[in-house]
Each structure stands twice: as C-alpha cells, then as structure tokens.
Structure 1
Amino acid sequence: MTANRTIEVFSAGCPACDEVVSLVQGLACPSCAVDVLDTRDIGVAKRAKALGVRSVPAVAINGQLAGCCAGRGVDEASLRAARSRPAMIAVPC
C-alpha cells in the first residue's frame, strides 16, 4: 500500500511556477494530494517562510522543503558583496 503524501507547490502564478505545477502534478502518485498555494496570499506566504522557502516556485513534501528547492533565493550578503566588486563592463550612469 502506498503511503499518502501531501505535496505543496508554492507559486506566484508566473509561467515558471505554472511549469513546475504541471511537472509535480504529472509526477505525483495516485495517493498524493497536490496543493497549489499562491504566495501572494499572506497566510500562504507565512507558511512558505516557516518552511524555509526563499524563492518560488518551491515544493514541500509532507511538510519538508524538497532538496531541489532549499538554499535558493535572494541573499542579502551576496548582493552586498556584488555591490562592492568592480563592474566587468562600464555602464554609463
């Protein structure tokens, strides 16, 4: 007997998110419950943050962020470091 799984797909409704929703729905087992959650909703955004979602699309399985979705997203420290590096191409201001 296959165990039931709850799969949450965190989406912002963009084409990239829609592509992941289709992929997850196609890969999900018959006993899996796939919930597509809109991160523009404050309650969903709070749930995503609690799971460690840093960018969308993201997938959680049984309340755990999938490995493919961990550690992504905008990182303030990286942005600050990039700001202090000289530009590779001179861009007129």
Structure 2
Amino acid sequence: MAARRMVEVFSAGCAVCDEAVAAVQRLAGSSCNVQVLDMRDAQVANRARALGIRSVPAVVIDGQVASCCAGRGVDEQVLRAAGIGQP
C-alpha cells in the first residue's frame, strides 16, 4: 500500500481559512493525512516562515508549498506603486 500524503493547512482561523480547510479535507478524503496548523502559534508561524509562506490560508503537500499558495502576501513595492506613503 502506498504511503499517504501529508497535507498541512496553515490557517488563522478566519472564515476564508475555514473554507480552505473544508475544501482540502473534502478533496483529500482518506488518501491523505490532513493537519490544520494555527498560525497564531509561534512555532507554526516559524515553520510557515521557513517554508516561505507569506499569506494564509496556505497548503503544504509532502513538505512543498502548493503552487496556488506560493508567492503571495504583502509586497512593499506593489503597495508603494499603488500610492501608499505618498500624499
């Protein structure tokens, strides 16, 4: 029997995160081990940072951030270009 995939969902406990958790659990079924991790826990936040997670919800499958969850988060250059900090 093949090993089950390890799926981690990084969540802040908000409604959007809850929807993502439900979707992942529905999709994973019994073929994956799904673990929901609370970003309000300092150790979880440190693990997320080490993985390059910049926003939540985020999904990690077998130690790799899912492509749909990579490269997001606050980008200072984009905010400055949009006018933040300018009169």
Specify the SS of the correspondent of 1:59. Answer: strand
Specify the SS of the correspondent of 2:21. Answer: helix
Aligned residues: 86
Superposed counterparts of 1:1-93, under 5 Å: 1-83=1-83
Deviation at 1:40, TM superposition (A): 0.7
Percent of paired sites with the same residue: 66
In structure 1, distance between residues paired with 2:77 and 2:3 = 41
Runs of 4 or more, structure 1, over 3 Å off, are none
What is the TM-score when the length of structure 2 is the normalising length?
A: 0.90
Which is higher, the Rg of structure 1 or of structure 2?
1
Bigger drift between 38-47 and 28-37 goes to: 28-37
Amino acid at match of 1:21: V
Deviation at 1:29, TM superposition (A): 4.1
Unaligned runs of 5+ in 2: none
Q: Is this contact kept in 2: 1:37–1:44, CA < 8 A?
A: yes
What is the root-mean-square deviation in Å for CA atoms of aligned residues? 1.8
Bigger drift between 71-80 and 15-24 goes to: 71-80
